[in-house]
Every structure is written in C-alpha cells, then in structure tokens.
Structure 1
Amino acid sequence: MKRSLLIIAFLVFQWGSAQIEDALVFFADKENVAASIANPITILTQDAIDRKQLHGTVIDARDVPVNENYITQLKNTPGITVYAKSKWMNAVYVRGTQTTIENLLSLSFVTQVEFMNKNLNFAPAASGPNDKFAFETQQGRTIYNYGAATNQVEMLAADYLHEQDLTGDGMVIAVLDSGFPNVTSNPAFAEIISEGRLLGTYDFAERQVNVDGTGSHGALTFSDIGGFLLNEFVGTAPEASFYLFRTEYAPTENPVEEAWWVEALERADSLGVDVVNTSLGYQDFDDPSYDHTYQDLDGETTIAARGANHAFDKGMLLVTSAGNDGNGFTFVATPGDAIGILTVGAVDEDGNYASFSSIGPTVDGRVKPDVMAQGRDAAVVSQNGNVTTASGTSFSSPIMAGAVACLWQARPELRNDQVMQIVRESADLYNNPTPQMGYGIPNFEEAYNAALLLGAEEFFLEQQFAVYPNPVVDLLNVSFPKNISGATLELYNVLGEKVLSKEISKTDNYVNLSHFASGMYIATIRSGDAGNAFKIIKK
C-alpha cells in the first residue's frame, strides 16, 4: 500500500510539472540602444517622431526593439512557443511546461519569469469564463432613417465639434478588437477606403495582414468612430485615418491576448497613432488560475495595465470600455483599470446608467469609469453595411474615442493627459463622481472651449503687455512680453488729455499713481510695433 501511494504521488507530480503554462519572460538588455535613440528614424516612423516632438515625449530605451536573437533562442528551445513580444517591457509571452519555462532562467539574457497562473497549486474552479461578447452580439434589426446615430452623438455634443469642422481630419486612430470582416467592402467605410485613410491592418494572433478575425465585433466598434452612410449614419470621427489591429482570439480566453494587445500598442506608437480605442476587457480566463482578482486591478499589475501606462507615457491617448460585468464581477476589468487610460461606461439613450456597465472604484480608490456615453441600444453598422443597434460598453468607448480625437484636432499640441482631464472636467458629475457613472457624461462643447483657453493666459503674457493690479491704489506694475525689454507708458484722463508719460523697462516696470485723483484712465504701452491699451481704475 505504501509503495502504491508513492507511485500515485509521483504520477501527480509528473502531471503537475508537465501541465502547460503561460508566462512573460523578461530580457536583460537590448542591442544598439544609444545609436537607435540618437537616430530614431531607424526604429520609429517620421509621424511617430513628429508626434513625440510635438508633445515633448521622450524617445528612450523602451522604443528600441526587443533583441531578436534572444527571441530566436527561445523559439529554438524545445517545448517553448513564443506568442508575442513587448519592446516596452523588454519581454516575450511564451507557453510551455512550468519546468521548461523556469529553465529559461539559466539563460544569461533572461532576468525574470512571470507566470500567468499566480498560484500554480491553486485548484481550478469548475465553471468556465463568461463569453464577454455574448451580451453585445444581441443586435437589434431596426432599419433607421436619417440620424440613427444622432442621439449618441448629440448626448456628448460631439456634433458641436463637427460644426467647428473638427471631424478627425489629420488624426490617426487605431482600433484594437477581435475582427473586422468585410471592412474593405462595407459601404460604411467606402470613403475611408477610397480616400486612403485606412493606413494599415494587422492580426497579432494569426500574424497576418488580414483582420477578418473571429466574429464581427471590431466591425461594429469601428463603425461608431469612422462609419459614414449618407442620410443614415455618421460616426464621431468620420474624417480620421485608421489602423485596424486584431488582438483578440474570440474562441478562447487567455492572457496571451493582453500580450498581443500591448504589442499592438507598440506598433501603433511606432506608426504615430494619436488615439487608440479598445473595446476589450480581461478578468476571467479559460484557466481560472489565471483570473485577475479585484486586488490585481490596481492600474499597474496586469500585462494590459502595464502596457497601457507605457502607451500613455509615450504620448498616445487610450480610450477603453469599462466592461459589461455590472451584474457579475461588478468592477471595471483591465485595461480599464490602468492609470493612463480613459475608461468609458455605458448609459441608455436618456443618459441613465445601464445596469450591465462595470463600475468602480479601482482597488486603490481611483474613479473608474472616467466618463460615460451611450452603450445601451447604440447605433452601429453591421459587417454587411446595415444600420442596426447593439448594447455594451464596447460601443460607448468608440463613440467617446472619436469625439476625443476631434477635440484633440482643435489643439493637437496639447498633451494626452491635458485632453483627458479636459474631457473629465466637462462631464456633468465631475464634482460629485459615483461608482456607476464616474465623472458622468462629457459635454464636448464645453471641452472645446476649455481646450481653446488652456494656456491662453500664459500665451497672452508671453506675447502681450499686461498691467496689475487693476483697480490700483498707488503702484501700477507692467508685465513685459518675451523679447521686449523697454517701452513707453502714457496715461490719459477721460477727456483724452495726456497726464503721464514714462519710459519703463523690465527692471523698472512700474509707475506711481498715488497722487492721481480717483477715476478712470486709459494707459497705452508701446515698444516699436508692439503695444496695448488698458482701461485703468484708480481708487
């Protein structure tokens, strides 16, 4: 009997050690880092370099590709399959047995292994993961007349941006999703195709250009940004340019999809993408030992959250769906928990919280979702070009992403964090956020006005003279614009009579008005062709 138990124990050990696992394998270094940074066109497109220069985004070692020699050595290791790579994390996503993966640590260039199974001895639960697209694929079949997308656009006042000729022209948006069937033949995307605004496609799961993928989820989300059918449907950024990246393999649920997603972000960054829409979320997997707990969703732990934060740091603006777990897991899934991402929940056509929409806060107490858009009965265009409806945060996210791109078009020199904060502050619950609604529904007319004013005071002070305090009791001070060191100040009373003239400079920048009578005066300040006039109130 004792010998039998030993045999059974040995077999259990053998089974456990032979079970296939997934992991991130981190590398120690990269090749030619200094030379690549000194000559960034060798690793980035000119569009990417221009965007980074515009926003003051540093080009650093994260932009340098992973060492392909290291990847080749892993691929040649028996029992190891490489599925994805990340230059930002200097890592690859692999699959193999626990022992085979751990043996990679013996390689001089491997510094760390991170298993997706957080506890390899944890007994898997009996139930499998939910189909995260099941709810959203229950589409309505109503045939809409002109304005099918009117409600979801006007709810955000995105139509106001369009009236300002801000339709996404010149902005580049990447859509990361599960599949985009018929994208080149769908009439909703005919103008994008004919005008050359579909800049590229790639399937990171199958390693091919074709992005038909599995399912039509991507075609639906793409339509809410770029779709256009005359008199029937208009997306929120109909004049933008696009990359379509398939990162989701719908038949299974595995953390490798997070790794593919990060890889797509890196590709997007290298191509100069401005805005990324992601209508995907990850929390439970086919292997429950890989599941993310609420404690994992702190904005910087999961593969997706880490990738999102790198993307944010690199200057892109990421928009993602909060998830449809309001009646299940409850909380926003990753990458929606990431610090550097704008997470969007769903409301109905009247602006009321949709019960399926995942809620916050994150485990570390941050407000999530950030903002809301229509996600219940949202208008979409199907893969066959028919206007229909669908429900889910997957649709509130692209509706928001298109509006964000149009807003950024107005002030492209603003940083991604500035644009995100402007959007948050325009929302109706900004001063009283809730777990269900976050900061609420943005108003892009208000956001547009705030964007125009952002930095205006600093710009004015750099380009124009200014006076302070006003009203004044005794000393009236003058602020000089850049590149001007001296000027003449003249003061006139209400009769137009000159009562004071003084040469001023940056070091002698005031006049004493203490002996003047109370009342209104006009001050002029001139230096060559530059000058300003001010109404002065003397107390």
Structure 2
Amino acid sequence: MKKVMLLILLFTSALGFAQEDAWIYFKDKPDADYYLANPTEMLSQKALDRRARQNILLDEKDIPIHADYLNVIKESTGVTVMSKSKWLNAIHVRGERDNIELLKANSFVDHIDYADKSLNTSRISIQNQVVSANKNLETQIDFNYGNSANQIQMLNGQLLHQSDYTGKGITIAVLDAGFPGVNTTQPFQRMRDNGQIKGGYDFVARSEDYYQGGTHGTLVLSTMAGYVEGQLTGTAPDAFYYLFRTEDATSENPVEESYWVEAAEAADSLGVDIINTSLGYFVYDNGRYSHTYEQMDGQTAFITRGADIAVSRGIFCVVSAGNSANTINPHIPAPADAPGVLTVGAVDLNEMYVSFSSIGPTADNRLKPDVMAKGYQATLATPEGTIGVASGTSFSSPITAGLVACLWQALPDKTNTELRELIKESADRYSEPNNQYGYGIPDFSLAMQKAMGLTDGNFIVYPNPANDIVHLLFPKNIQRTTVTIFNELGQRVSQQNVTLANPSFDVSQLATGIYSYSMEGTSQKGRIIKQ
C-alpha cells in the first residue's frame, strides 16, 4: 500500500512540475482614451485609410495591451511570455501550472484559459492522448514541369490580368512556416527587383530574418507572386507582400495560434489589405491540447477568434480548408471555421473535388468551405528555384487570394465583406452549395462584371481619354465585337475587330480631339477623347 501511495504522490508531483501553455486574459485597457485620441500611435496611416474607406471605426480592440500588465507577467517566477494579442487582450504563457495559477492574484487578470482543456473548470475535457501531427502533408512535390495557366484560367483570372488588374497597389500578408529562397532564387527575382517585398518578421524565432524556417511559405508565395516566363505566373504578380513566419514546422503546439494572431495584428497595423494563411490547427503533438470538432464552431479556437477580428478590421482573410478529409478528423480546422474568412477547398485540373480536401459543415452547422480552386498538382516554385507541382489546399488558398487582390484593385470602393459576397455569388454552385464544394468554383471575371454593371451587355472602355491603346472589358457571353470610330462630322475614321483574347484597339493614328464610337452586336455607343 505504501508503495502504491508513493507512486501516486510521485505522479501527482510530476504533474505539478509539467510545463503548460495558457492564455492570460486581462480585464481592461487603461490607456484606451489616449490611443483613441492619438490613433497613429497604434496604427499606420495606411491602416487608418483602409478603415476609413470601409467606414470602420476604431475601438478598444485596437488599443495595445497595457505595458504595466505585461511587465508584471514577464517578471513573474517560472513563467515565460510566448506571445501577446491586443485584439483579445491576452498573452500566451508557458510554465508550471502552479506558477501560472499564481498569476490570478493580480487584480488586472480576468481569467486563465489553459491549452489543456481539462484544466479549465468550465470547459469540455477531452481524452489525454499524445499523437504526432503530420507537418508535410501539403508539400509533396514531384517536380513535374508545366505552367500555371490552368489554375488561373479555372477562376477566369486571366481576364482580370488582361485588363491590367494584377494586384497593383494591394498589399498581401502571407502567414506561414518560412520563406527560404525567396531572397535569392530566380522565380522571385521580379518581385525583388520591383520592391514588392515590403518586409516581414519571424514570430517563431523572434527574428528579423524571415527567409528561414520551413519551405511551405515559399511554395505558397510562389503561386501568388512567382514569375518565370512561360512556366509560372502568380495570380497577383504586381501586389506588395509582407512575409510573416508564424508556424514552427518541427512541431505542432497551440502557441502557433498565438503567433498567428500577433502577426495578423502586425499586418493590420501596417495597412495590409489581404491575409493568406495556408495553415490549419486541429490536432497537436500533445493530444491534451488538441481541438475537438465541437470546438470548430467559429468562436472557440484562439486563432479563429483572431481571424474574425481581422475581418472586422477590414482585412480580407483567405484560409485553406485543410487536407484531413481522409482522416478521423475530416472537417475543416481552425481558423477555416471563422465566419468571416473565405475558406478555400481543393479541386483538380478538371474541377473535380480532391479526396483530401477537408469538408464542412462547421460544428454550428455553417456551410464550409466557401469556394474551391486548384489544389491538386498546382504549379509553383521551390526554395531551390525549380518549377514543379504540389498538392494541397495550401495552394488553392493563395491562388484564390492573389485573384482577390486583382479584383479589389478593380473594385477599390468595395468593402472586404462586399467583395467576399461577390466572389461567392460568382461561383458555379451558388444556387446548390454543399459541404464538399461550398459554393463551387468562383469566376472572378463574372464577379468584376457584375460589380461594374457589365452583365447587362455593356462594355467598359478605358482609359478614356487615351493616347494610343484603348482596352475593353467584355460583358458576359460576348466573345468579340467590332469597334467603329467616327469623327465630329460623323465620318468613319477607324474600324477594328476586338476579341476577348485581345481586348484592345489602337487610336494612336487619330488626331487629338473628341470621337464617337459604336460596338457591333450591341446598342452601346459613346465618346472617346484622343489626347
């Protein structure tokens, strides 16, 4: 009996000395009035401008964590501060449970939420099990050469590119596992030469060197920003990019959710327009920390709550649906369950569902994924600069995010939520969605046409005034037209055939002045000013 009691005592003591992860939530933000009166102390002007365009007011979530609170926790014995979140007014700590419990004595601490749900008295307890998370599922490259035409044309992105909507002026933050090779290899030379990499940070290593870590982020970025003539064109080749490492490719721990939220807050403060994240969290190396399906309800996981706050700040969040459909956890992970994000699943080159793409619904019975894009044998660039293919919803998400940037460039007055609805409404299963395909495969050209009023058969003519080349945006179901130009006397001075594949005509030979035009096959007429 004594031996049994001794074993129980030793086991209990061992539990007391185990390292735990937990979030410490604070009660208030005493500096709120100061920051709300001085917004540039917490947000860049670019971020404030994004808020103003979408009529989003500042609130207490924008206020930084009170420095004195943070310092008290940092100076506490046996506790390490791993990350912090102003949006959730919380910090992520690691330490022995007894030391973490002592933090409750501080009057400014509201509550403590352990990553091990069984330690939270009002939370659901899950089975104590240790499992190994697969960190390489989405990066299986077979080095088959090809080009990226299919993954762009599937979403009708080439029509946006032909109209010179290539992401110019839009800023995308990529939150991923690392970006080795982006600073050296040829597929990223164009974006380096054009100054499109605006900066970044490694939240895992707390380092300014974000060109390290896992290779996953490099692959993801290449589908948006990579360029090799005749082999690879990213979906947003002219956008600006911030590169944030939030994922530790060597392990799976809830602190990565906290790194993600911290990075999203940094992206917000820098004025980022779009966040792409090809990461998802469900199962952790320590099974006591794993989520359950019931927690995929859009409001429980730390990262999910952070993602939805990012959307409320005016950021467009694109999230991969996950690759677990063939596992015991077939449903989408966090933050793909967040209500405000655009969750993207995977199809193949023939637009057929790929069996690994995680499915919905969410635990609270919302439709997910939202849309689908190519995620099987997607064309991309490796950290070594090789053009190859890889499979996973990790790639359907950035392929889509890049075209979101192009669409937002075309429709700068739209809010992030208006843009998301346009994209879903353009999808081919919008009238009959399901939890495999969501609303289906979006048509970004159709979304643009609908927003611009082109679906009623009208062309958009630009630029006008013009110096030499005039472009046309074609309405739906029209493939070609003939543009006839008349001078002020009504005399025909030019007649040119224009097709969807080559949507422009030349006015360089015309003298400066005002001309009228007509479009064959439509009733559309108008004026062109030749400069």
Q: Answer yes or no: same fold by TM over 0.5.
A: yes
- Residue 339 of structure 2 corresponds to which residue in structure 1? 339
Answering whether residue 5 of structure 2 is matched by residue 6 of structure 1, we say yes
Distance 1:416 1:18 in 2: 46
Q: CA deviation at 1:340?
A: 1.2
Distance 1:226 1:102 in 2: 46
Partner of 1:277, secondary structure, is strand
| Mean CA deviation greater in 24-33 or 340-349 | 24-33
* Contact persistence 2:78–2:96 (CA under 8 A): yes
1:126-165 equivalences in 2 (<5 Å): 126=130, 128-132=131-135, 134-144=136-146, 148-165=147-164
CA apart distance, 1:42 = 1.1
Please state how far the C-alpha of 1:256 moved relative to its aligned partner: 0.3
| 1:263 alignment partner in structure 2 | 262
Determine helix, strand or coil for the equivalent of 1:358. Answer: coil
Partner amino acid, structure 1, of 2:324 = D
Superposed, 1:103-118 pairs within 5 Å as: 103-118=102-117
> Are the structure 2 counterparts of residues 286 and 164 from structure 1 closer, same or farther at C-alpha, using a change threshold of 3 Å?
same
| Contact 2:36 2:59 (C-alpha < 8 Å) held by counterparts | yes
Structure 1 residue runs without a partner (length 5+): 457-539
Partner of 1:69: 68
Offset of 1:123 from its aligned partner?
5.3
Question: Equivalent residue of 1:57, what SS?
Answer: coil
Matches within 5 A, 1:77-476: 77-120=76-119, 124-126=128-130, 128-132=131-135, 134-144=136-146, 148-328=147-327, 329-453=329-453
For 1:123 and 1:363, locate their aligned partners in 2 and report how far apart those are by CA, in whole Å: 19
Maintained 8 Å contact 1:227/1:233 = yes
Question: How far 1:311 sits from its partner (Å)?
Answer: 0.4
Post-superposition Cα deviations, 1:451-510, rounded to whole Å, max 9, x if no partner, equal 2249x9xxxxxxxxxxxxxxxxxxxxxxxxxxxxxxxxxxxxxxxxxxxxxxxxxxxxxx
CA contact (8 A) 2:204 2:259 kept: yes
Relative to the length of structure 1, the TM-score reads: 0.81
Task: Write the distance in 1 (CA, Å) between the matches of 2:453 and 2:57.
Answer: 26
Greater mean deviation of Cα atoms: 400-409 or 66-75: 66-75
1:436, 1:333 → 2: CA distance? 14
SS at 1:292 equivalent: coil
Letter in 2 for 1:372: M
Amino acid paired to 1:131: N
Amino acid at match of 1:294: Y
Pair 1:34 & 2:36 matched: no
Q: Please report how far the alpha carbon of residue 188 of structure 1 lies from its aligned counterpart in structure 2 after TM superposition.
A: 1.6
**Within 2, Cα distance between the matches of 1:433 and 1:129?**
34
**What's the secondary structure of 1:419's corresponding residue?**
helix
Deviations 1:96-144 (A, max 9, x none): 1222111111011111100011114865225x13314x23222021233
Aligned match of 2:509 = none
Partners of 1:124 and 1:32 in 2: how far apart? 41
The answer as to whether partners of 1:156 and 1:373 remain within 8 angstroms in 2 is yes
**SS at 1:251's partner residue?**
coil
Structure 1 segment 495-506 matched on structure 2, within 5 A: none
- The question of whether the paired residues in 2 share the 8 Å contact of 1:213 and 1:249 is answered with no
Distance in structure 2 (CA, Å) of the matches to 1:75 and 1:361: 40
CA contact (8 A) 2:181 2:385 kept: no
Q: 1: CA distance between counterparts of 2:263 and 2:402?
A: 19
For 2:88 and 2:155, how far apart are their aligned partners in 1? 36
Shift, 1:71, TM fit? 1.6
CA contact (8 A) 1:75 1:82 kept: yes
Distance in 2, Cα, partners of 1:117 & 1:213: 30
DSSP-derived class of the 1:11 partner: helix
1:194 and 1:109 map into 2 onto residues whose CA distance is 49
- Corresponding residue SS for 1:119: helix
Q: How many Å separate the matches in 1 of 2:432 and 2:47?
A: 38
Q: Is the 8 A contact 2:42 2:269 kept in 1?
A: yes
Counterparts of 1:450 and 1:362 in 2: how far apart (Å)? 30
1:430 offset after TM fit, Å? 0.7
Residue by residue, what CA displacement relative to the aligned partner does 1:259-288 show, whole Å, maximum 9, x if unpaired?
000000000000000000000000000110
1:191 offset after TM fit, Å? 2.0
Equivalent pair of 1:309/1:341 in contact (CA under 8 Å): yes
Q: Which moved more, 1:335-344 or 1:59-68?
A: 59-68
Contact kept, 8 Å, 2:282 with 2:333, in 1: the verdict is yes
Report if aligned partners of 1:204, 1:246 keep a CA contact under 8 Å in 2. yes
Q: Deviations over 1:430-462 (max 9, x none)?
A: 1111111111000111111122249x9xxxxxx
SS of corresponding position for 2:251: coil
CA offsets 1:212-238 (integer angstroms, 9 cap, x no match): 333210000000111111222100000
SS in structure 1 at match of 2:309: helix
Distance 2:214 2:33 in 1: 43
Please, what TM-score do these two structures have when normalized by structure 2? Answer: 0.83
Cα distance in 2 for partners of 1:371, 1:10 equals: 54
Between structure 1 and structure 2, the one with the greater Rg is: 1
Unaligned runs of 5+ in 2: 120-124, 457-531
Match of 1:531 in 2: none
CA displacement at 1:6 relative to structure 2: 3.4
Paired residues of 2:24 and 2:111 also in contact (CA < 8 A): yes
Q: In 2, distance between residues paired with 1:186 and 1:210?
A: 16
C-alpha distance in 2 between matches for 1:297 and 1:400: 23
The one-letter code matched in structure 1 to 2:143 is R
Once the two structures are aligned, what percentage of the paired residues are identical?
A: 45
Query: Any idea what SS the aligned residue of 2:34 has?
Result: helix
Q: Aligned equivalents of 2:63 and 2:345: distance in 1? A: 35
Verify the 8 A CA contact 2:214 2:248 in the aligned structure 1: no
Report the number of matched residues.
Answer: 449
Give deviations 1:243-270, integer Å, cap 9, x for gaps.
Answer: 0000000111000000000000000000
Q: Could you say what the CA RMSD is over the residues aligned between the two structures, in angstroms?
A: 1.5
**Partner of 1:500 in structure 2?**
none
Given residue 345 of structure 1, which amino acid in structure 2 is its aligned partner? G
Distance in 2 separating the partners of 1:323 and 1:207: 27
For 1:70 and 1:293, the matched residues in 2 are separated by: 32
1:419·1:451 contact (CA, 8 Å) conserved in 2? no
Return the alpha-carbon distance in structure 2 between the equivalents of residues 238 and 348 of structure 1: 23
**C-alpha displacement of 1:73:** 1.5
